[in-house]
Chain A
Amino acid sequence: MSMAVEQKEMRDDALHGLQLATRLEGIWRTPSGLMGALMSVDHKIIGRRYIVTAFAFLVLGGLLAILMRIQLAGAEQRLLSPDLYNQVFTMHGSTMMFLFAVPVMEAFAVYLVPLMVGTRNIAFPRLNAFSYWMFLFGGCFLWISFAFNVGPDVGWFAYTPLSSLQFTPSKRADVWAQMITFTEVAALAVAVEIIVTVFKQRAPGMTLDRIPLFVWAMLVTAFLVLFAMPSIMVASTSLILDRLVSTRFYDPSSGGNVLLWQHLFWFFGHPEVYIIFIPATGMVSMVLATFARRPVIGYPAIVLSLIATGFLSFGLWVHHMFVTGLPQLGAGLFTASSMLIAVPSGLQIFCWIATLWDGRPVYRTPLLFVLGFIVIFVIGGLSGVMVASVPIDTQVHDTYFVVAHFHYVLIGGAVFPLIGAVYYWFPKICGRMLSERLGRWNFWLAFFGFNIAFFPMHILGLMGMPRRVYTYTPEMGWDRLNLLSSVGAAIFALSFAVLLANAIYSLRRGMPANDNPWDASTLEWATASPPPPQNFDRIPVVTHRDPLWADPNILPVIAGLSAERREVLLTSLADAEPQIREASPEPSIWPLLTAIATTIFFIGSIFTPWAVVWGTPPMAITLIGWFWPTGSKEDEE
């Protein structure tokens, strides 16, 4: 019976050229209309939505930053009340960390990793759709709460006992804690997809030492997410339990421990920095190789750095707690780790500089942003080594010096490479080139604006200006530097307006992009711009670390996948040898319905513990619908 079925099934080796492309496009296309959009499981569509949504949250978070800078531009300003200021800085930090920085990196991975490894869709595509909806609903939940004056006001770290029921009796801390759950569920889902895609869906021949560096970076990041995020989910859920049903996890009078919160939070919070930074280093490696016109020098050293940074990021969390009275011997251990993590980071930077030195650099906008990244990140890294030292950290803790440091690391280390990545991959995603002239304006405004905004904060911190103050008196002498910082923030904001204008203009009138407009070396450039629904008509075979540079005219392919249904090829972990053909799920409305049911469950459970009872059946029903057998063929050898 199975033999007969197998013989009847059409494989892609029976079709060629346009005939094959048309047939595959019909199989992999997302249905049109609103229902089609809601059912989509195409990684490119979901990746695009993720990117646009994350940038929308960036704009919102950025507007809050501008409000803060207007407030602090002079002494004793009254634009924001103390209460609103508390909400604004909490919303700014939470939005940037949980709704922009992490999701946007994962968004690029969702879009690019399947293309870079040469497969037709991401692993677990329905989980991918679910992940996006959870992220969207969590973000909307936070911002709608803010609009109704229930925005969190306890800082992006929500330390206990400030966030306990005693000191925050309103629902503001609950909103923060449950937003965390939304975004972490979304991030964990993407992490699982990335790991499985990289381990099992690589094109034949893409051995471990031929994986593009961005994919390596995302693989390491996915593992960081997998091990770091449960910590914050446990923390935020136990906080909700303390507040809702009077458990005593963080109440010292009943045997709880307020420092437990800090340990759990920072065990997640420090790897979080690397969850944002490591993907950016992957982007840097890709952009740098393309525009230096040579492979990155020290591929093994860079992979080693990524892995070492990933491990070490879990051993630094106590450096956020140096002033909590922990034994100095323990603090010394974390100082050592904190300083030593500069070694792998420095190793990468030397590899990149050597690549530029030995290459023939073409200074287009993506490379300018990478160069800006190197300058700014090194400054941020140096101030990082400073605050890794207990005596210095004790002096500058909770001052603007730390604000300056982490903005240099996060904006310099992640946002600059990210904007470079936008310029680099925009032609692939949208099929049109971004304007180079506007791109250069964008870069220089961003570079000068950023440094004018954030460098003075180092000095303000050393002058003693504390973080999170809504205003200050003229006698403190902080007003001039604050005004300078606010001017810089305005210039920096203008650079993002230029980026937005460039994207809108280029989407309509930009120069059409060919398949490989930068003459890059990796597989995403081997397909059309934008890629068709099936990504590749035939699955490529990789024989070189830089497949499109090894032989620009010939890219070997394999045939044999189904031409009747969605199917991907699974390969072995180390050698990427073909192992099995695997069905890939069709579009489905169930991920959206499951996300809606989960949202009702999550939001309900900050108001009443009974939400756990009545919120479970709808989730169960939607999950049954999701996994209901469809009668499709089982996996075939």
Chain B
Amino acid sequence: MTVNESSVRLLYWAGVALGPAAWAANLQGVYAISHLACEKAMWGGVALSTLLVLASLAGTVISARAVRRRAGTEWSDSAGGGPRTFMAWLGVGTGVLFALVIADQLLAALVISPCLR
């Protein structure tokens, strides 16, 4: 196994970790500053959410790299037995899903007036 292959193998679960972590950081970060948002424009929150959408999608990309050669097996074969490919697939899905959730929260932050109580 080359160094490159082993690093891909090592990070097959990246999407499972990065997606929820990015979403948790977004939720807590933006919620924490929402109390202060009325006093001054909080473009920092928008920037944070955008960054975290990208972080979540980065997890997807890393996981996708880990499965690209065996992408079809988990769907065509119901026998199982490839736990790393399986986890990498979960990483792909989780990264996309949580990027969607963060983007949805970003939209809410853009639409709602921060002074509204």
**Given that A299-B78, A300-B75, A327-B114 are known contacts, is A574 also in contact with B97, CB under 8 Å in the complex?**
no
| Shortest distance from the beta carbon of A360 to any chain B beta carbon, whole Å | 16
Residue A361 at the chain B interface, CB threshold 8 Å: no
**Given that A209-B81, A545-B80 are known contacts, is A329 also in contact with B90, CB under 8 Å in the complex?**
no
**Given that A304-B90, A307-B16, A546-B78 are known contacts, is A327 also in contact with B101, CB under 8 Å in the complex?**
no
Among A207, A209, A308, A336, residue most surrounded by chain B Cβ atoms (within 10 Å): A209
Residue A363 at the chain B interface, CB threshold 8 Å: no
Q: Is A543 in contact with B78, judged by CB distance below 8 angstroms?
A: no
Q: Is B108 in contact with A550, judged by CB distance below 8 angstroms?
A: no
| Shortest distance from the beta carbon of B115 to any chain A beta carbon, whole Å | 8
How many chain A residues touch B (Cβ–Cβ < 8 Å)? 40
Q: Is B101 in contact with A337, judged by CB distance below 8 angstroms?
A: yes
Q: Is B109 in contact with A329, judged by CB distance below 8 angstroms?
A: yes
Cα of A329 to Cα of B108 in the assembled complex, Å: 7
Which residues of the other chain, A, contact B113 by a CB distance below 8 angstroms? 328-329
Which residues of the other chain, B, contact A311 by a CB distance below 8 angstroms? 20, 23-24, 98
Question: Which residue of the partner chain, among B20, B30, B79, contacts A550 with CB atoms under 8 Å?
Answer: B79
Q: Is B83 in contact with A337, judged by CB distance below 8 angstroms?
A: no
Cα of A550 to Cα of B78 in the assembled complex, Å: 10
Which residues of the other chain, B, contact A303 by a CB distance below 8 angstroms? 86, 90
Chain B, interface SS category: helix
How many chain B residues touch A (Cβ–Cβ < 8 Å)? 42
Instruction: Across the interface, name the chain B residue whose C-beta is closest to A210.
Output: B80
**Given that A307-B94, A336-B101 are known contacts, is A315 also in contact with B27, CB under 8 Å in the complex?**
yes
Which residues of the other chain, A, contact B16 by a CB distance below 8 angstroms? 307
Q: Is B81 in contact with A210, judged by CB distance below 8 angstroms?
A: yes
Which residues of the other chain, B, contact A574 by a CB distance below 8 angstroms? 83-84, 87
Q: Is A343 in contact with B97, judged by CB distance below 8 angstroms?
A: yes
Can you list, as one digit per residue, whether each of A553-578 has a CB less than 8 Å from chain B (1) or not (0)?
Answer: 00000000000000000000011000
**Given that A325-B117, A329-B116 are known contacts, is A337 also in contact with B81, CB under 8 Å in the complex?**
no
Which residues of the other chain, A, contact B107 by a CB distance below 8 angstroms? 336
Cα of A574 to Cα of B80 in the assembled complex, Å: 12
| Shortest distance from the beta carbon of A602 to any chain B beta carbon, whole Å | 33
In the complex, the 3 A-B pairs of residues with the closest C-beta atoms, listed nearest first: A332-B108, A209-B86, A210-B80
List 10 extra interface pairs beyond A327-B114, A329-B108, A337-B104, CB under 8 A. Answer: A208-B86, A300-B93, A304-B94, A307-B90, A315-B27, A327-B116, A328-B116, A329-B116, A546-B78, A575-B83
9 contacts between A and B (CB under 8 A): A209-B74, A209-B85, A312-B23, A312-B101, A327-B34, A328-B112, A329-B34, A335-B108, A336-B104
Binding site for B on A (CB under 8 A): 205, 207-210, 295, 299-301, 303-304, 307-308, 311-312, 314-315, 318, 325-330, 332-333, 335-337, 339-340, 343-344, 543-546, 550, 574-575
